[in-house]
Amino acid sequence: MKRQAEWRGGLLLAVLLIAWEVIPRLGWVDPLLLPPFSRVGTRLLTLAVSGELVQHAAASLGRVLTGYGLALAVALPLGFLLGLSEPAEQFARLTVQLLRPLSPPAWIPLAILWFGIGNAPAIFIIFVGTFLTLLTGTIAAVRGVDRRLVQAARTLGCSRRSAILRVVLPAALPELLTLVRLGLGLAWMCVMAAEMVAVSRGLGFLMLEARNLFRTDTVLAGMLTVGCLGLLLDGILRLVQARLLRWQVGRRAYEMPGD
Amino acid sequence: MKCLEIEALSKVYPGPDGPIEAIRRVDLAVREGDFVAIVGPSGCGKSTLLQIVAGLERPTSGRVLFRGQPVRGSSHERTLIFQESALFPWLTAQGNIEFGLRNLGLAAAERRARAREALRWLGLEAFAGLYPHQLSGGMQQRVALARALAVDPALLLMDEPFAALDALTRRRLQEEVRRIQEERRQTVLLVTHSVREALSLADQVVVLSGRPAVVRTTMPIPHPLSPSALVEWEEAIHRYLMDELC
């Protein structure tokens, strides 16, 4: 079953890659605008061998991990607090709702004014771009915990405080892990936006510079790298998820693709 | 010896259209070893009463004494069983039972031994390693019962524990509860809307009125009840409840 699922997943990708190879070669589109896959692959290899790609990828990855890690470290505990305490959530509600419509690119000018050029503005943008989504998601996950589970724990002698760790946390965990995966995708979007303006290294920078030189193959090679890195990180998170939520096997109405 | 004394207990909730009076001046006493059932029309505040006894809700006025002491907060001495099993879905049957035992500060080995014992009482040995979603509704409720009994509560509170089960499963679990109650001399306070269930399980049936709930009558039930006597008692209590519905 599993092997069949993987095979099927690869099928569409293979068809698309073949089309990507064939269509420019047949001259249906200008190869300058869409170089065939093999040329992009070669370019990717050249960049990888020269070490240039690793440098850019490492810079992007470092920013994502730092910015997103900081956002997680602040948003998850704070979201727990706000989710558990109605007055605290009411206190924060208006502010959160005011800030939420500000999409990550909206923060870029301010980030550059405050932090100049380099890692700091990019990390800042990832932080603000993911923080509120993580916060509101965590509040919702905590709020969604069946209160009877907490009541059952309490009448089994569990203190209020230990019920938070032993009941609310595991009960909210499935939703929290999905949230962390979604947030990571968001962090990648933020880093790309940030790197197109505020840095001199990173995959976003690589692509922007290649555009200026009309190197479509490098632009596409950069995009492929972003896709692969995202896939890799999400794969790691999926493994963590599968391990932590082993009890859910066979519980869901349908399994998510790739799970 | 009194296990539970409820004196002039009232509960008023704030509602959207003014305060809602759920319970009005209810008096009730449960002796050690008694099996007391509370029946009343649905939505009459029976569950609220149980929540207050469990220490999950505060009364607006009146007193609840548990073994002579006023109830403050919840405790494993007053364990509550819900209509739906309220098992922790991330723990196995055994893990669910050990959850309460961990609160008692027992060592791992003793927790395991006591959980095994509780599983055996309810014929669940073969299901120890299964998660709640792998069990039928009746089995889940058995695990909930085992989990509650494992912490050895002085008072077992049951809120419509069989209402979501099919008739046959319900009957078997009722018999099981009756057996365990007799073997352990377990004090039980059961809330149910089924008069027949109350009559076949309890030594004493308390009839509550519709909202706000006041005690209409308290009846000691002689056991064993012959089938014809059961019908008569049921008829008598139904008449009380019918008056409430008009």
Distance in Å, alpha carbon of A6 to nearest chain B alpha carbon: 27
Mean pLDDT on A206-215: 91
Mean pLDDT on A169-194: 94
Interface of A with B in 132-161 (CB under 8 A): 146, 148-149, 151-159
Q: Residue A257: its pLDDT value, please?
A: 46
- Those residues with Cβ within 8 angstroms of residue B181's Cβ, 6 or more apart along the chain or in another chain: B35, B188, B201
Q: Which residues of A touch B55 (CB under 8 A)?
A: 154-155
Distance of CA A108 to the CA centre of its chain: 19
Q: Residue A158: its pLDDT value, please?
A: 92
Identify the three-state secondary structure at position A253.
coil
DSSP assignment of B27-88 equals EEEEETT-EEEEE--TTSSHHHHHHHHHTSS--SEEEEEETTEE--S--TTEEEE-SS----
Interface of B with A in 92-121 (CB under 8 A): 92, 99-100, 103-104
Mean pLDDT on A103-112: 88
Q: Which residues pair with B23 in a beta bridge?
A: B11, B213
Identify the three-state secondary structure at position B8.
strand
Q: Is A255's Cβ below 8 Å from some Cβ in B? A: no
Contact between B62 and B11 (Cβ < 8 Å): no
Pick from A154, A166, A251: CB nearest B74:
A154
Using CA atoms, how far apart are residues B13 and A38, in angstroms rounded to an integer? 71
Answer whether residue A6 shows pLDDT above 80.
no
Contact between B80 and B56 (Cβ < 8 Å): yes
pLDDT tens over chain B, length 246 residues: 789 999 988 899 888 888 888 888 889 999 999 999 999 887 778 888 999 999 999 999 999 999 988 988 899 999 999 988 899 999 999 999 999 999 888 899 999 999 999 999 888 999 999 999 999 999 999 999 999 999 999 999 999 999 888 888 899 899 989 998 998 899 999 999 888 889 988 999 998 887 788 788 888 888 778 888 888 888 888 887 777 654
Using CA atoms, how far apart are residues A127 and B22, in angstroms rounded to an integer? 48
Structure tokens at A44: 């990717």
**Amino acid identity of A91?**
F
Q: Is B91's Cβ below 8 Å from some Cβ in A? A: yes
Question: Model ipTM?
Answer: 0.90
Alpha carbon distances (Å) from A37 to A9, A12, A32, A48: 19, 15, 12, 16
Q: Residue B99: its pLDDT value, please?
A: 94
**Closest by CA position to A202, among listed A102, A89, A117:** A117
- Those residues with Cβ within 8 angstroms of residue B149's Cβ, 6 or more apart along the chain or in another chain: B118, B121, B156, B180, B184, B186
Residue in chain B lying closest to A148 (CA):
B86
CB-based contact A155 B133, cutoff 8 Å: no
Structure tokens at B206: 């308390």
Mean pLDDT on A54-63: 94
In chain A, how long is the greatest CA-to-CA distance? 74
Answer whether residue A78 shows pLDDT above 70.
yes
CB-based contact A157 B82, cutoff 8 Å: no
Q: What are the φ/ψ torsions at residue B189 (nearest 5 degrees)?
A: -120, 115
Distance in Å, alpha carbon of B51 to nearest chain A alpha carbon: 9
DSSP A164: I
What's the number of CA atoms in the CB half-sphere (13 Å) around residue B216? 23
Residue in chain A lying closest to B91 (CA):
A247
Q: Is B60's Cβ below 8 Å from some Cβ in A? A: no
Contact between A122 and A199 (Cβ < 8 Å): yes
Answer whether residue A255 shows pLDDT above 70.
no
Answer whether residue A227 shows pLDDT above 60.
yes
CB-based contact B100 A146, cutoff 8 Å: no
Q: Residue B245: its pLDDT value, please?
A: 59
Mean pLDDT on A82-109: 89
Using CA atoms, how far apart are residues A165 and A84, in angstroms rounded to an integer? 12
Answer whether residue A259 shows pLDDT above 60.
no
Task: Determine the straight-line distance between the first and last CA of chain B, rounded to whole angstroms.
Answer: 39
For chains A and B, what is the number of CB pairs under 8 angstroms?
Answer: 72
Contact between B208 and B46 (Cβ < 8 Å): yes
